[in-house]
Structure 1
């Protein structure tokens, strides 16, 4: 994955980019149902002329795609400017634009949503990377990129057919391990995570980028 990304830019500021996950804000919507997650959110657009950050706006999913929190506009803390403008993020977005654009060559405009997630696991209280369960995001394509994984057990990604049949599973274990998902064709989920050592802090940090044709 590192080689693929470097064809579209540089990861020279990756350390600072990964460190920005320490500045995420609590997901108050998920906390209202007794679960814990930190996140930031941003919206971009992509055209043949390039990728541009859009004004901050809510994240919305219908109940068809998110039975837990669908049907409402959710406002999350915005991705910080220094993160949005970082070389690492620009490299990742350029890669996604080229990769997903090649799969849909007739698409000229894309709506991009960017999510920084931190799932925290606590003793006796597993973290829920996908609290909505096995799902689709309601977009065209998804990148899930592991940023950091500390003192975490499990967190296995599963890919399913529309009828629920398990097609495969794998665990993102190292920074830059990634999953590329054709959201129209398959469902995906992640198993709960628990601390390997319950006496120490634990978290799973991921970047999720979704592309939807406009």
Structure 2
């Protein structure tokens, strides 16, 4: 009998510095109120009147997620982030802007998406995920065949998937695996289509640090 093993973690630290008192209070009060429910659920049912459901995987400090939610109050956005300091920061953004169309999963996104039904998402973002640049660590990258397959299952036909990275190898890795799945198209026609930030992109503090080995690249895929 083969022993079962938990999936490899695709993220690094869970927590770094101490969380500020105000944010810690939001972790105790706001976070429990906006977590997705346990068990199977349809994201469109998490907010009355929501016209679409979006997912952001690894939202960092939450700036992008909060800005998108403010722009589109008719959209329910689920954010997944295991890094507790990032969750605390996102909660501050939501509280300050009084945004009620965001739900937060403070853990591994793979556990979350396994509970969601087919074709239940209208858009997904994966922005500057941990690149795991050493070859021996590539297996820890979020973008794997299994993850792409789950995203293809969750995204309805015509839905958008945006991946961004400033690590050239991870861009190539992602392009290869997403297109290999066969259920996504990549309509880019010229260099500007992946080199220029998309019109609706919100630049975050992490992106501005330019920690990678190339200028940011934006891959906008479409679910076929």
TM-score for both structures, normalised by structure 1 = 0.31
Higher strand share: 1
Higher helix share: 2
TM-score for both structures, normalised by structure 2 = 0.30
